[in-house]
Amino acid sequence: MCIIGREVNDVKNEPGFLVWLLFLNYSVLNVWHLSFFYIFAMTMENTKGKYWTKIAIMAVIPAVLVGIIYLFTLRPTVDLLENKSELFVQVDSMSGGNSTCKINKNADGVDMTFTLGSSIAYPYVALEVHRADFSPFPVDDYLIEAVVESDEDLRLSFRLQEELDYGVKGKAYPTAVYSFLSKKGRFEVSSHIDEAKIPEWWYAQYPQWSSIEKLRYENVNIIRLYADNSNVKDVEHKITVKSLRLVPNSNNGFLDNAIKMMFAFWIILAIVALYLRRNNVQKENSENETQEQPQQQQVVYVPYEKLETEKETTNLKEEILTFIGKNYPNPELKLADIAKALSMTEDKTSEEIRIATGKSFKAYLNTIRIEESKRLLKETTMQISEIAFSVGYNNVQHFNRVFKESVGVAPGAFRDGATGGEERPEGKA
């Protein structure tokens, strides 16, 4: 035998991995459905403003979800030629045959030159791959793929050998076979592991293991690419194995289904979004038209009879000002006294005073008192204290301060001829 020594990278082969992966796939479908109904409910809301931004986010969410799940469920692809593998040649010499085979690994792959001898009925040669310690390959739910180039059509086959330990009964080495015709030129072949079946000749050779129906895929530790007696004997054949690898089937299936579901979801989302957007636009236009239309006031005709107690506005103002003109000398005069005398509320009374004079009640009362005191200072010889009491101030010092704040000079100076400044609009009473 000739040998090219390399060791296949260790790949995790956890027990129950397929069960876990199937469970996760079903869970993904359930999450997908829930996500769809959630996003549909969000879309049903009366979205205004960034409408298409929200739709775009809804469309991206499933793609991100699929990407994350795909990365978490991704299982490795095992390249049997490139990833530190041990490659062997197996020939029929142990069975009395005279077949020959040589292999040469290079940058393009593995060149395999062989001749099937005619000394036995079933000659064979094979390219064998296994790990240095014969630990198992992860083949459960995997595809085995190969790319072969040759100048002729050749009958080849994948053969997977599993080591099964039956305790005291011994060990069995069942072999599953998948045959194919490699066409002239570049030929690509891909087969699911389940398509490799245990042939009848194996049961005939090992009748004690007839109860084994198929491989368990738990301890497949040898993979071979065979050329057997179906090809022309005693003639040199040459093939180049460009690629020989194990590819996880579940990854491809999940991704294909996920892409199909995403496209279906995007189509439904687009239809729903356009439909709801059209309804929202119609609703907004209807609301805008309603707001633009001038509201018509409804006129209600009520029988009206003027009451005797109702006072004309002009007469009301005159009565308020007359009452203040008569009672301003009273130092205890309050707004409440006016309101009570005229059967009005204080607020209404204050409002009427401000409308009529442009001042508040206190400011207007203070103006009347100061104007009257100015007249008395000029036209009479009354003492300042007497004037203060006569116009409604019961404290001379307070009168002097208010007079000066309003007129700009003290009462005595005003009497002596000082004019002071302009009267301040809001004095203090």
DSSP string for residues in 180-228: EEE-SEEEEEEEEGGG-B--HHHHHH-GGGTT--S--SSSEEEEEEEE-
Distance CA 423, CA 246 (A): 106
pLDDT score recorded for residue 317: 83
**What percent of the chain clears pLDDT 90, i.e. is strictly above it?**
33
The order of strands in the sheet holding 220-227 is 3-4, 86-91, 125-130, 220-227, 154-162, 175-182
For residue 10, what pLDDT band results from cuts at 50, 70 and 90?
very low
By the 8 A CB rule, do 172 and 131 touch? no
Provide the pLDDT for residue 315.
80
| Lowest mean pLDDT, pick from 47-56, 67-76, 78-87, 418-427 | 418-427
Instruction: Tell me: pLDDT of 113 over 90.
Output: yes
Q: State which of 115-129, 250-264, 307-321 shows the largest mean pLDDT.
A: 115-129
Ranges 9-18, 109-118, 313-322, most confident: 109-118
| Model pLDDT, residue 50 | 66
Q: Which amino acid is residue 13, in one-letter code?
A: N
Residue 126's DSSP bridge partners are 90, 226
Q: Is the pLDDT of residue 21 over 70?
A: no
Domain at 313-415, CATH class:
mainly alpha
Residue range(s) in the chain whose domain bears CATH number 1.10.10.60? 313-415
* pLDDT value, residue 255: 67
Across 6-32, average pLDDT: 44
For residue 13, the model assigns a pLDDT of 41
Torsion of CA 286, 290, 292, 293, to 10 degrees: 130
Q: Which segment, 181-185, 259-263, 341-345, is predicted with the most confidence on average? A: 181-185
Mean pLDDT value of segment 408-427: 71
Which of 93-102, 103-112, 274-283 has the weakest average pLDDT? 274-283
Q: Are 386 and 377 in contact (CB under 8 A)?
A: no
pTM of the predicted model, to two decimals? 0.47
pLDDT at 18 over 50: no
At 266 the pLDDT is: 80
| Pick from 107-116, 121-130, 134-143, 302-311: least confident | 302-311
| 95 vs 25 pLDDT, higher one | 95
- Structure confidence at residue 125 as a pLDDT band (50, 70, 90): very high
The architecture of the domain spanning 1-278 is Sandwich (2.60)
pLDDT score for 253: 60
* pLDDT of res. 16: 45
pLDDT of 216 > 90? The answer is: no
**Cα dihedral 394, 409, 363, 357 sign:** positive
What's the average model confidence in pLDDT over 79-87? 76
Mean pLDDT of the 262-281 span: 80
- Indicate if the pLDDT at residue 296 is higher than 70: no
CA atoms of 295 and 217, how far apart (whole Å): 81
Query: What's the pLDDT at 183?
Result: 93
Query: CA-CA distance, 333 to 362, in Å (whole number)?
Result: 10
CA 332 – CA 338 distance, rounded (Å): 12
Q: Which of 224, 240, 2, 231 is nearest to 123 (CA)?
A: 231
On the question of pLDDT at 347 being above 60, the answer is yes
Average confidence score pLDDT of the chain: 79
pLDDT of residue 214: 87
pLDDT exceeds cutoff 70 at 15: no
Residue with tokens 């004079």: 357
pLDDT of amino acid 55: 76
End-to-end CA distance of the chain: 127
pLDDT band at 1 (very low <50, low <70, confident <90, very high): very low
Task: Give the residue range(s) of CATH 2.60.120.430 domains in the chain.
Answer: 1-278
Provide the sign of the torsion angle of the four alpha carbons 295, 301, 307, 312, taken in this order. Answer: positive
pLDDT band at 60 (very low <50, low <70, confident <90, very high): confident
pLDDT of res. 8 = 36
What pLDDT is attached to residue 272?
Answer: 81
- What pLDDT does 38 receive? 53
| pLDDT for 43 beyond 70 | no
pLDDT of residue 158: 94
Task: Tell me the sheet residues that pair with 136.
Answer: none
Position 287 pLDDT exceeds 80: no
Q: Is the pLDDT of residue 269 over 70?
A: yes
> How much is the average pLDDT of 153-176?
91
